[in-house]
Amino acid sequence: MRDDDSTHKRRRMQIAFALFLLLPIAARAQGKETFAEPNSALLFGNFRTSLYVVTPARTIELKNVTEGGAGGRFSVPSLARTLDRIAWSVDRVDHTEIGVYSVRDQAWKSFADVCYAGGGPAAFSPDATKIAFVSAMPSSPVHEVCPTTDKTVLQILDLATRRITKLSCCGWALRGRLSWSPDGKEIAVEYVPQVGLGQIALVETDTGKAKTIADGGYPSWSPNGEWIAYFDSQLAKCFLVHPDGTGMRIIRDGEDGFRYHVWLYGAVWSPDGRKLLLNEETGDERFNVVMVDVETGKATTKTKNGLPVLDWAPAN
């Protein structure tokens, strides 16, 4: 049964990806700002204008990424493993929205108004049926999904029912990213205590129970489940740690060669969990993207002064 389910899932992903490439949406030749990887779809972002889905065949430009071009702070998007949707959190003047770019409709749609005090990272579940996100509660309970005032809450949006479940309160970071475990049973997210530095916490999706495993932020769970990548509080070092908190090691130290730069947007895993992509800030929204082999630690610069890479999904 598991083999049948796995085969069916791969087939659905192949069909979705084929439809994605056939859509009559804006495309352009791959430039020096991005790059492609075999059998993959990479998501790059220019948060003022567009997102780009880059495949070996072509680069697809998705314009008006803040829904009609409206202004607002744009959080890190998440590419569904079905390759047919992109989730994002964006702050408006008087509220925060969780939105999804639908490949079928070729448009951004708001799925939920999720409080009036600011949104943080969002991420698709492995089966792309739910979106986990962090949002800040307003100073007074003005919205039915915001019963806890002046706190940050980890929540889950069910895309089929549009039901929002408050999973865990409080102290979750509005910056960086969050990441689901491959089996969908836990979410890695940064916890910010009232005193001290940020910590990597794993939250159970059915109970909301949390445990901390390391100090740092911007957690990213490997697709094979073996590692969680994260940054230190200075955004200068990238660490790896097993989900049980053991085996901690530095995979990339930015201070060795990039003392005045920082890593942003979190580590991006290859679909097989063997490589990481890291965004090294070089200027205003310009980045060097470095690929690191997890086993050997070998680093390869993929682009210089280009766009940040935000997600990496298999296309076969």
- Residue 278 backbone dihedrals phi, psi, to 5 degrees: -125, 140
**Residue 247 in 3-state DSSP?**
coil
At residue 219, the pLDDT reads 95
**Token pair recorded at residue 207:** 């109970």
Report how far residue 203's alpha carbon sits from residue 188's, in angstroms, rounded to the nearest whole number. 6
At residue 257, the pLDDT reads 45
- Note the Cα 238 to chain centre separation in Å: 16
Q: Which residues pair with 150 in a beta bridge?
A: none
Least Cα distance to 114 among 86, 93, 89, 139 occurs for 89
At residue 299, the pLDDT reads 94
**Token pair recorded at residue 120:** 């943080």
**pLDDT tens digit string along 65-120?**
655 444 455 577 899 988 888 888 776 666 677 888 876 677 777 766 555 456 67
Provide the residue ranges of all domains of the chain, joining segments of one domain with +: 2-314
Report how far residue 112's alpha carbon sits from residue 195's, in angstroms, rounded to the nearest whole number. 32
Taking the CA of residue 33 as centre, how many other CA atoms within 13 Å lie in the half-sphere pointing to its CB? 17
Low-confidence residues of the chain, pLDDT below 70?
1-31, 47-49, 63-74, 91-95, 103-104, 111-119, 137-150, 194-196, 255-262, 316
Report how far residue 187's alpha carbon sits from residue 176's, in angstroms, rounded to the nearest whole number. 14
Q: Which residues pair with 275 in a beta bridge?
A: 293
- Residue 57 backbone dihedrals phi, psi, to 5 degrees: -85, -40
- Asked whether 256 and 250 are in contact (CB, 8 A), the reply is no
CATH T-level assignment (fold) for domain 2-314 = Neuraminidase (2.120.10)
In total, the chain counts a number of residues equal to: 316
- Asked whether 302 and 54 are in contact (CB, 8 A), the reply is no
What is the pTM for the complete model shown?
0.85
**Token pair recorded at residue 13:** 């992903």
At residue 255, the pLDDT reads 59
- In degrees, rounded to 5, the angle at the alpha carbon of residue 261 between the alpha carbons of residues 241 and 255 is 55
Report how far residue 257's alpha carbon sits from residue 2's, in angstroms, rounded to the nearest whole number. 46
**Which residues, including other chains, have CB under 8 Å from residue 294's CB and lie 6 or more apart?**
222, 227, 240, 251, 273, 274, 275, 276
